[in-house]
Structure 1
Amino acid sequence: MHIFGKILGLFFGFSFGGPIGAMFGLFIGHQFDKARKLRDAGFDSSFGNGPNQQERQSEFFKSAFAVMGHVSKAKGQVTREEIELASTMMERMNLHGEQRRAAQEAFREGKQSGFPLETVLERVRISSGGRHDLLQFFLELQISAAFADGELDPSEREILHIIARGLGFSSAQLDQRLRMQEAAFRFQQGGFGGQQGREHTGQSGWQQKSSHNQLSDAYKLLGVESDADAKTVKRAYRKLMNEHHPDKLIAKGLPPEMMNVAKEKAQEIQNAYDMIKKTKGF
């Protein structure tokens, strides 16, 4: 706990300036303690000046793949599906050369025993400035890694709860995201999440596949009940699109390499909303 600077600032401020000086000294001491916290977390900083945008993006990028590697090892052995997911994620991000090697190295580090998960998560929170949208994106990447083989093992669920807490999310928030991701996985399998599905089904196939189960998954993907009215569905859709808008995420510090992943997530949300509108006649 960093309070040494506050104590010194309060003491000297009061000694030289009375109550007003004490307030000023407390402020200066707080900035000093904040700088120490950043430095202890692995960043070079001085009086609150943290890493620049590029450094924060690099920290986010490497941590994402390292934690992904840690999640993949949750069951004791990394499966072929989980290795393929990491490779697919690198392809989606168009990683080549040094960037790809950095991602692979981070993924391997995450698989090592003694990986300092909680310390890494703390650094992610600091490097992201505590921005909810960025931390949520980070969590969703890890949920995707856990769902690589289409199911969630109890050990993977336990790790995800640790990750969620480390990023500042409650168990209830994680459970909601897990339900949404599970529905998204099924939704994509039904051909609504990507170009491949559309090529095989076409417009008539899209209509034919609009079964009750697929519609139910579309609602769950948006995080609403299947009997939700048009206003509720639209509000949920707008909230999710605002949280996952690629340009907004990049502006807040998302690494440019992850832009395509953000675009795909936004398209997934759009597809679910379009299906509900078309089927329900909203």
Structure 2
Amino acid sequence: MGWWGKAVGGTLGLLVGGPLGAVVGAAMGHGVDRGAAHVADLFEPARAAERARLQGIFLETTFSVLGHLAKADGRVSETEIAFAESVMTRMGLDRSLRRTAMQFFYQGKAPGFNLAAALAAFRQASPGQAQLHQLFLEIQLAAAYRGGQPGPAQRLVLEQCRHGLQIPLASFRRLERLIEIQYQFLGGNAGWRTGGPGAGRPGPGAPSTRTALAGAYATLGITAQASDEEVKRAYRKLMNRHHPDKLTSRGAPAEAIKLASQQTHEIRRAYETITAARPPAAGPK
């Protein structure tokens, strides 16, 4: 039976990488026969290439659509450029990738940008990545609300994004309502999604408790009148919806995982801020 692993490895290698792949596969199959390797290792280079491709198309689509959205209502403002740069910061992009992302941004605002084709390419490259698509849409929604209620032209772009990524209307409305609440309560202090890295922390000259609670309630998308059970329910729903482990398990780009990690950190911090400010629940008498 010592030939079995080499035969399987060689066949798989031939299918994946041609003659050279067959040689590599046979060698790896020999390792399997000896209990020293796994056939699955043969596919790691392909997985790495697929992850790199998804990373590239995620960045390209995110920033080109941000540029297209900014241009939709006329002139691109400094605020809209600053917003795109803040997303780059939250993603942890280095100087080279920031330049690339900004190039995508300017491509998106150029005449003739094909939004439908960009979304179709993104969806094709990310099958089954519903959470990644939601993250992309949240960024676009936050950008649209940066200057207040989005106008008709920006709403059309947002609807094209929803339709192009096949996101259910109910999910879109839930995301939009969350963003709307955050900007309604936090205004210019709101970050790209949850109130920014400073959400839940006092701003200069502001009463600390009020500022912290305003940011915390906005982060969870609820008001101060919410019951303890409603607070807990909102927290659990957001944590489940944004947890980075789901992105990691599907091979999502590192930039998306970092964003999701920041989101869950801010959601958890908001929940802790709210619960700490509330009186403890009465126990049984």
TM-score (norm 1): 0.68
SS of residue in 2 equivalent to 1:254: coil
DSSP-derived class of the 1:198 partner = coil
Selected match of 2:158 from 139, 160, 169? 160
Q: Paired residue for 1:198?
A: 201
Tell me: CA distance 1:152–1:270, structure 2 relative to 1, closer, same or farther (3 Å). Answer: farther
In structure 2, distance between residues paired with 1:139 and 1:225:
24
Q: Secondary structure at the match of 2:75?
A: coil
Once the two structures are TM-superposed, the CA of residue 239 in structure 1 deviates from its matched residue by: 2.5
Partner of 2:133: 135
The amino acid of 1:143's aligned partner reads L
Q: What pairs with 1:238-253 in structure 2 (closer than 5 Å)?
A: 238-253=236-251
Deviation at 1:136, TM superposition (A): 0.4
Query: Does structure 2 retain, via aligned residues, the 8 Å contact 1:190–1:197?
Result: no
Q: State how far apart, in whole Å, the 2-side matches of 1:88 and 1:249 are.
A: 21
Report the equivalent of 1:176: 174
Aligned pairs for 1:28-107 within 5 A: 52-107=50-105
Structure 1 or 2, whichever has the larger Rg, is 2
Larger displacement relative to structure 2 (112-121 or 255-264)? 255-264
The alignment-based identity, stated in percent, is 35
Q: What letter corresponds to residue 96 of structure 1 in structure 2?
A: D
1:71 is displaced (CA, Å) by 0.9
Q: Secondary structure at the match of 1:152?
A: coil
1:210–1:240 distance in 2 versus 1, CA, 3 Å: closer
Within a 5 Å distance, the mapping from 1:189-228 to structure 2 comes to 189=189, 193-195=196-198, 198=201, 200=203, 205-209=207-211, 214=214, 218=217, 221-223=219-221
Alpha-carbon shift at residue 167 of structure 1 (Å): 1.3
Cα distance in structure 2, aligned partners of 1:101 and 1:225: 39
Change (3 A) 1:119 1:180: same
Number of equivalent positions: 229
Give the distance between the partners of 2:212 and 2:260, measured in 1 at CA: 25
Moved more, 246-255 or 104-113: 246-255
Q: Is the 8 A contact 1:193 1:267 kept in 2?
A: no
* Structure 2 residue 119 is matched with structure 1 residue 121: yes
Q: Check whether the contact 1:66–1:109 (CA below 8 A) recurs between aligned residues.
A: yes
Distance 1:227 1:144, change over 3 A: same
Q: Is the 8 A contact 2:181 2:221 kept in 1?
A: no
2:36 corresponding residue in structure 1: none
Partner of residue 276, structure 2? 278
Secondary structure of 2:72 counterpart: coil
Structure 2 portions without partners, runs of 5+: 1-45
Normalising to structure 2: TM-score of the pair?
A: 0.67
Letter in 1 for 2:100: A
Distance 1:104 1:63 in 2: 12
Deviation at 1:78, TM superposition (A): 0.8
